Amino acid sequence: MSAVYRKELKSYFHTPAGWLFLSVFLAIGSLVFYLNNLLPRSSDFTPLMSMMSYVFMLLTPILVIRLIAGEHRAMTDRLLLSSPLTVRFIILGKYLAACTVLFFAVLLSFLYPLLIAAYSRLFLPEVLTAYLGFFLQGCAFIALDLAVTSPMKSTVGAAAVAFGANLFIWLVSLLSSSSAVPPFLAGAVAFLSLYDRFTPFLSAQLSPANILFYLLFCLCMLHLCVRVQTAVRARRT
């Protein structure tokens, strides 16, 4: 697994994918930070994190489309699936590499609260709680995109499917606040929403239930991806 992890992590920075993700993530984050914090000289960090959570819908496909569909495009998928590594370790190595790039982006964005601390009081536990939820939400979107793109052979198709899945998750999460939706359905949507689960972290609520939800969601998506790729390997052997 470590060999796959190192290979994928290096590939992110030997190709434009990793640099594109980091640059766009920080460009959008810097613009939102300027408009919400620096311009009005506000120390409220919540709007920045809340708005940046929607950026995952646009950017996580950049990290994911090359992991499986990119192997098909480079015609290295047969070599990888015929390796002695189990499919579980291959998928886990790829997933952890994508999460590491995400971690780099989140770590670089920590410059924003440090700038706030330069002219205002900063409550570090609140900021760290928000960042924990932010990172977990990003990891959940990566796992989701990896699962839905696992059957894809085209990077363009994988990008479209990943963005469509992210957009669907966002649109469905809007149902939880709609008065036209029955309460039981709205409650179910809120329970499963990747966005609603992030809200308590913005209020500095370190909820073990929400942390467990994100972790279980990632495991379920990775398990689905493993099942798909196992079926692909069985078909080719």
pLDDT for 141-188, tens place per residue?
999 999 998 887 777 888 888 888 888 888 777 776 665 566 656 666
Q: How long is the chain? A: 237
Q: Quick one: tokens of 35? A: 């408009």
Domain that holds residue 65: 2-236
If one counts the domains in the chain, the total is 1
Backbone angles phi, psi at 123, to 5 degrees: -95, 100
Q: Quick one: tokens of 7? A: 């290979």
pTM for this prediction: 0.90
Q: Could you read off the pLDDT of 36-87 as tens digits, one per residue? A: 888 888 878 888 888 888 888 888 998 888 887 766 666 566 656 666 677 8
Residue, of 230 and 96, whose pLDDT is higher: 96
